[in-house]
Chains A and B, each alone.
Chain A
């Protein structure tokens, strides 16, 4: 349940290990506003590296900083190849920042100021492209509209940038390249005679959507069933074991399985729900610990840690979801639905990946045990 990073990771790993897996996905998920950095992960575990590489997702690792869309630098390590990682918050002497005329979701002047504070010289130039008029005609100019045009005309854009380039050693571009072709950012880097740094835009995140597409493709290639535009609405449970779930679209055709993974996300993704009195989990009504007094859910300072973002479903040490104080034997909760109830697993993308792999391992181990138990029984018979 859930087709975000946690759900996809679990689905791919299970399918690879021979478990027949289905993913029920609403459609949009947290990958649509993925920053490109896998928070709280250091060097990629071999298993993650292999999984991503098999899916065609390119990542790199280095402990350093990355340039954020409003011109600040932030510590980052494991990231998509789109994201440049620097040892120090300075990477050149003279920087050319290229934006598209009429595109308001890429903050070139903020970037320039941030870089100038670090002692870099900046020049901002706007490209005026006829081709983007089509994107505009179909609505406002937003990242995905531009990315669709760029899929067709990125080579022309490279030519224009080459003409603009004077003595700059670095070119900054918005992350709107390679929506449907993961090799494009690399090819742009080769074609421009300066260092090219891609910087994020307002969501949706183009590298995030591409990552989502590639993960889904990989899962389906491995034989997994991806139910797009659907969501689990109810689970049928008896004595701590869930036998099947009902989804919105499949009506009375229940999905039966040996194991269920709940990766439906936090409040924004609707994995959790809130009303003035409580925060709840809508599919299984799992246990969630939070203060009764709503005043304690918030910090009045916007930028402070918000208590409500930490609330999540309760789990046992093996990530079995807990309902009315009892761990459900074949239901695992992974990803941001955990809030920060499991701080040892990290947060954000790191939490999604670690918890997904932990749940997968547990499912495979119990499947193995069942099998040997069964074999043992047969022998005995």
Chain B
């Protein structure tokens, strides 16, 4: 590709969507030498990427019904453990059989797992109780599988960071308002920045639509039709890490039958409800869903019925109907890559959708292969063997020891979040170690590092990158402190005051569906403090 005298708004490929699929695709394209631009109308991981279990599937869940997905999962599972070590907690998982379940299913399940190449091992229920003390003690069967947990925010940020280290450009809070079109060819995009109001055009011979469920809107803008079926999944986050291993039910996949530990919390989910497309931007969790999640969750780990719930949230799966099936009955949960040139005669647009968090890298590889084919670039994919920035070391303890001689617990927490990038946290004076968020142990230095290098413009952006405000107090104390640092970095107090109000609103949105007990106590306190003491 010729690199001189290029218009700075011209790229080889434009990726629309800052979720994990978009970030992964940008990384892959950038690593193959393409000049990339990623645009995202909001922040990273705001859609389905950040609104799921954070489960590092072993593939077992799909083994019986969908062998192809199961094989994809276990392959990607092994790859992610290598390339994204700092985003992953290899906890292993259990598939438990309860007295009300059919124990006969266990063998079918194990056989299917083995066929897909998943190391599934039947273990004595007594051993399962020792391995995972929180598990329902009534269990009559247990299978151990290589499940784990993955931090989707961290994974998404690391992909985007690597794309940038390979020359990629990222425009967050920038929405595509239309396409630049010549005949049957898309030449570029019109965009508008939601924060500055600035409008800009960008050009590229290939545009990748990686917007998950919102991809339908993008294809509409381009004048082509893709049938998507939004399916809402509701989840609850508990305030403690009740379980150390993923716990699943050994039966046909159903509602609320996966409990995943993640960092300091655990997550139960999910439900599956078809919703109208218009509701995708504002999905709410209903009291009935909350009741179902708690009741079913307590069957996996009885302690859940006594554990404080931190938040309720919901994501929207981007299910796509098969092209030859206008009724939408034949919906695929697998990866869908549409070449709109072949499919609709529209040059310059590719849609990559379907799939799941687990298979993002493979989706990115498929999309990038197609991009390269269109650009006549002959470069092999290397994302499966190249660690993400931060994952060069396998254990966060080793990272922490390298960066700080005698790391504190807060520094270990930082290393677990940032991996080897933790060495970039400035510790130039004695105040950089001050804690801003006490629940999640996030320091001034880590927040400043995120503000400086990770495209943070709001408190909610900061939360996705550092876990500020994700802990027990849900931002009650740290939001103000972090707002102080953001205000300083951006030198715009007025915006920051509004940002603070938005942040509190966002937290409340996930709190009121579960507003009772300690959650309501905390909410009352927060409401009192911000209104009467701080005067916002």
| A residues lining the B interface (CB < 8 Å) | 33, 35, 39, 68-72, 74, 101-102, 104-105, 107, 109-110, 112-114, 133, 136, 140-141, 200, 202-203, 205, 266-268, 270, 273-276, 294-295, 297-298, 300-303, 306, 308-309, 348
Contact = CB atoms under 8 A, between A and B. Distances in A.
Contacts of B485: 104
Contacts of B477: 202
A-B pairs, top 8 by smallest CB distance, nearest first, are A68-B535, A113-B493, A302-B508, A102-B431, A104-B481, A298-B512, A274-B516, A302-B505
B509 interface: yes
Given A104-B436, A110-B487, A303 B501 contact: yes
A348 to B, nearest CB: 7
B520 A109 contact: no
B419 to A, nearest CB: 25
Contact of A268 (B444, B484, B528, B532): B528
B527 interface: yes
B287 A294 contact: yes
Contacts of A68: 534-535
B194 interface: no
A300 B480 contact: no
25 contacts: A33-B529, A33-B533, A35-B532, A39-B532, A68-B535, A70-B480, A70-B497, A72-B536, A104-B481, A104-B485, A105-B481, A107-B480, A109-B488, A109-B493, A110-B497, A136-B430, A140-B435, A200-B534, A205-B533, A268-B528, A274-B516, A276-B516, A301-B505, A302-B508, A303-B501
Given A102-B430, A348-B532, A294 B521 contact: no
Nearest to A108: B484
A151 B435 CA distance: 24
A202 B480 contact: yes
Nearest to B290: A276
Contacts of A267: 520-521, 524
A301 B523 CA distance: 12
B119 interface: no
A298 B515 contact: yes
Given A109-B488, A294-B515, A302-B508, A308 B520 contact: yes
B529 A203 contact: yes
Given A105-B481, A140-B438, A203-B529, A70 B520 contact: no
Given A33-B528, A270-B521, A308-B515, A69 B533 contact: yes
A266 B287 CA distance: 24
Contacts, number: 124
Interface of chain B, main secondary structure: helix
A112 B493 CA distance: 9
B431 A101 contact: yes
B531 interface: yes
Contacts of A295: 287
Nearest to B532: A35
B494 interface: yes
Contact of A110 (B493, B517, B530): B493
B512 A300 contact: yes
Interface string B454-490: 0000000000000000000000010011011101100
B434 A141 contact: yes
A348 B525 CA distance: 13
Given A102-B434, A268-B528, 9 more contacts: A71-B497, A72-B536, A104-B436, A105-B480, A202-B480, A276-B516, A301-B505, A301-B508, A309-B524
A300 B509 contact: yes
Given A268-B521, A300-B509, A203 B487 contact: no
B504 interface: yes
A364 B30 CA distance: 81
A275 B465 CA distance: 33
Contacts of A136: 430, 434
A107 B530 CA distance: 13
A302 B290 CA distance: 20
B534 A70 contact: yes
B127 to A, nearest CB: 35
Interface in B43-60: none
A39 B528 CA distance: 13
A268 B515 contact: no
A303 B509 CA distance: 12
A273 B290 CA distance: 20
Interface in B285-308: 287, 290-291
Contacts of B487: 109-110
**Interface-centre pick from B434, B508, B520, B522 (highest chain A CB count, 10 A):** B520
A72 to B, nearest CB: 5
B516 A275 contact: yes
Contacts of A298: 512, 515
A275 B290 CA distance: 13
A133 B530 CA distance: 29
Contacts of A74: 535
A299 to B, nearest CB: 8
A74 B533 CA distance: 10
A203 B536 CA distance: 15
A343 to B, nearest CB: 17
A339 to B, nearest CB: 11
Contacts of B527: 302, 306, 309
A267 B526 CA distance: 12
Contacts of B520: 267, 274, 308
B494 A113 contact: yes
A297 B536 CA distance: 22
B536 A70 contact: yes
Nearest to A73: B535
A267 B238 CA distance: 20
B535 A69 contact: yes
Given A68-B535, A110-B493, A309-B527, A303 B434 contact: no
Contact of B484 (A107, A306, A309): A107
A131 to B, nearest CB: 14
Contacts of B508: 300-302
Contacts of A101: 431
A338 to B, nearest CB: 15
Contacts of B536: 70, 72, 303
Nearest to A69: B534
Nearest to A68: B535
Interface in B366-395: none
A295 B512 CA distance: 9
B529 A72 contact: no
